[in-house]
Structures are given as C-alpha cells and as structure tokens.
C-alpha cells in the first residue's frame, strides 16, 4: 500500500500516515512559469494499492488539477488500484440545476476524477448523498458523526442537549446525530433571499434552557450559522455550539464567528485550517485522520467500511 499527498492538506495526510504506521510516498509537485502543474512520483508504484489524499479546497481549481494529474501519473506508472481520498469534495454544492443554463459541476468533477484513472473514491460528508451516483466507480461517503457525537457526549449532559438543523435540507444529517446521542431535534426555518444571505424566520421545537448543537456539512461565509445562533438564543437557548464538517470559512467568516453568539464552532481538519482559524478563541478543530485512516486500512484489506458507522 502507498499513501500519496498533494499540497492541499499535508498535515492531515501526515496524521493518516501515522495512524496507518507507514511513510508518505515521495512526490514532487512543481509549477512552470505559466503555473502549469508538473508532478513526479519518485517511488515505484507498479502493482501497488495507492491512496491519494487531496481535498479540493481553496484554491479549488489548483488542488483539483493536482489530484487529476497525480491520478494520471499513477495510472501511467501501472498502479494496481488508485483510490482518490477527497475529504472535502469541492463543487459539491453544484449538484443540480438551480436555474436555466447552469451547470451541474459536481457531475463534471466526478467524471474528471473517473476519467483521470481513479478506481475508487473515498470522501467525507458529501453535501448531497446522491453525488455518490455521479461516479461510475465505487464511492464511499464517510460521516463525521461518530467523531462529533463522541466530542458532544464528553462535553455535555445528554439531557440538556438539543440537536438543531440550520435548515430543512439538513434534517436527515441532524436527525442521524440526534439519534446517535439520544437527543431531541429542532429545526431552523429560514428563507434565503439571495445567494450568501439568509433570514431566520422561525424555530421549530422548544429550545428553552437547552444547550443547542447546530449540525451541518459546510460553513462558508458563516452568515446562516450566526443568524441561527442568534435566533436560538433569542428563543431561550442556554448556549449554541456548532459542529460543521468542512470549515471553508471564506472572506470575513472567522471574524463573523468570533463576534457571534456562538459559544463554539467545532470543525474537522478535512480542510487545512488557516492561522486565523487556529487563533480564533471560539473555533476548535477535531481531526478525522483516524477515521480516514481506518477506512483506508479496511479498503486495502477488502473489509467493510460501512460497519465503521454501525
């Protein structure tokens, strides 16, 4: 088995390698003067089971191209099986046509990864579960729920906790976490007037005196989350903590979170945290390296991955 890393999240790859007890294979990624990407694998991978760890986070297009070129290099080097480990699958929010003459970019990216030569995909908390069907190769969608539930139970009394979905679309994810920790469920009903802006309209469920746990897959600008936290506090919630898998946190999101009524935002290291994130007083990062490492180990040994979440 070989483990390779692009430039997107070397820290996470190192933690996965430590869990597996192996070394990261030697790969050089450099750019020509016009920013063309050139990749060279410095180890023999012929007949090997190869795992490429590369979230397609900011800058998304550069990291996606790195992933595709890495896969192509491995295919041409006669790797036996290539698994693209994409903890954060970029373009996942473009999973349908929201209007006329718009693309379904998630399907396009799935085609690119398949056609580059990947034999499998291993990802984490896809924005929409049906994206698995965009791939014509086996795709394992892992869940951060076990990592989150363990952390929630260590820090809270279960009878005080209420899991909250920040919108109607996230109810399935929130319900799964609520069932896992034995907590009730509430929903924030919001109306989005335009992209990047949201207005909280109503809270479904009694949150009075509860330690509310907001659950979602992606936090980008942070506006929706901050609005939801304020609405919950105004409805009598004792505190609001958010557990979000992918901390995109673009623009002024970190400043918005630190100034909000959130007691804490907990994200995973599926995306490499920036200095601003690491220095924020109310943002904490949980590692999913062990989860990904175990899934990689089971894939390599032809064992069940789904049993990780039983």
Written as one string, the DSSP assignment of 8-30 is S-HHHHHHHHHHHT-PBP-EEEE
Consult the annotation and say whether 119 binds a ligand.
no
Q: Does residue 249 contact residue 222 with C-beta atoms inside 8 Å?
A: yes
Consult the annotation and say whether 236 binds a ligand.
no
Consult the annotation and say whether 127 binds a ligand.
yes
Q: Which two tokens stand for residue 186?
A: 């509430």
107 catalytic per annotation: no
Consult the annotation and say whether 18 binds a ligand.
no
How many DSSP H helices and E strands does the chain contain? 9, 14
Consult the annotation and say whether 217 binds a ligand.
no
Consult the annotation and say whether 222 binds a ligand.
yes
Consult the annotation and say whether 223 binds a ligand.
yes
Q: Give, in order, the Cα–Cα distances in Å from 95 to each of 52, 90, 105, 166.
A: 24, 11, 7, 20
How many whole angstroms separate alpha carbon 167 and alpha carbon 262? 17
Consult the annotation and say whether 167 binds a ligand.
yes
Consult the annotation and say whether 48 binds a ligand.
no
End-to-end CA distance of the chain: give it in Å, rounded: 26
Consult the annotation and say whether 192 binds a ligand.
yes
Annotated catalytic residue: which of 14, 107, 190, 261?
190
**Burial call 247-260: b when 16+ CB within 10 Å, e when fewer:** bbbeeebbebbbeb
Q: Residues forming the annotated binding site for ATP?
A: 34-36, 93-94
Q: Residues forming the annotated binding site?
A: 34-36, 93-94, 127, 167, 192, 216, 220-224
Q: Residues forming the annotated binding site for D-ribose 5-phosphate?
A: 192, 216, 220-224
Q: Residues forming the annotated binding site for Mg(2+)?
A: 127, 167
Residues noted as catalytic: 190
């Amino acid at each position: 088995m070989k483990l390779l890393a692009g430039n997107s999240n070397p820290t996470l790859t190192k933690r996965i390698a430590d869990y597996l007890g192996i070394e990261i294979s030697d790969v050089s990624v450099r750019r020509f003067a016009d920013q063309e990407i050139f990749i060279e694998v410095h180890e023999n991978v012929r007949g090997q089971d190869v795992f490429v760890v590369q979230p397609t986070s900011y800058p998304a297009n550069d990291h996606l191209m790195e992933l595709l070129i890495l896969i192509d290099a491995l295919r041409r080097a006669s790797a036996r099986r290539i698994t693209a480990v994409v903890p954060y699958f970029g373009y996942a929010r473009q999973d349908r046509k929201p209007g006329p003459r718009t693309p379904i970019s998630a399907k396009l990216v799935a085609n690119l990864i398949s056609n580059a030569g990947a034999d499998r995909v291993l990802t984490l908390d896809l924005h929409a579960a049906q994206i698995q069907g965009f791939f014509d190769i086996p795709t394992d969608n892992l869940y951060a729920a076990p990592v989150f539930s363990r952390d929630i139970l260590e820090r809270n009394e279960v009878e005080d906790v209420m899991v909250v979905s920040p919108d109607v679309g996230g109810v399935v994810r929130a319900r799964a976490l609520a069932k896992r920790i034995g907590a009730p469920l509430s929903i924030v009903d919001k109306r989005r007037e335009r992209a990047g802006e949201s207005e909280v309209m109503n809270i479904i469920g009694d949150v009075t005196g509860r330690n509310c746990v907001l659950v979602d897959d992606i936090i980008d600008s942070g506006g929706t989350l901050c609005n939801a936290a304020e609405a919950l506090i105004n409805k009598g919630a004792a505190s609001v903590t958010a557990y979000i898998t992918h901390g995109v946190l673009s623009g002024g999101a970190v400043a918005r979170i630190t100034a909000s009524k959130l007691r804490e935002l907990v994200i995973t290291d599926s995306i490499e945290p920036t200095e601003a994130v690491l220095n924020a007083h109310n943002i904490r990062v949980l590692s999913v390296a062990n989860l990904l490492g175990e899934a990689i180990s089971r894939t390599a040994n032809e064992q069940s991955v789904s049993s990780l979440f039983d």
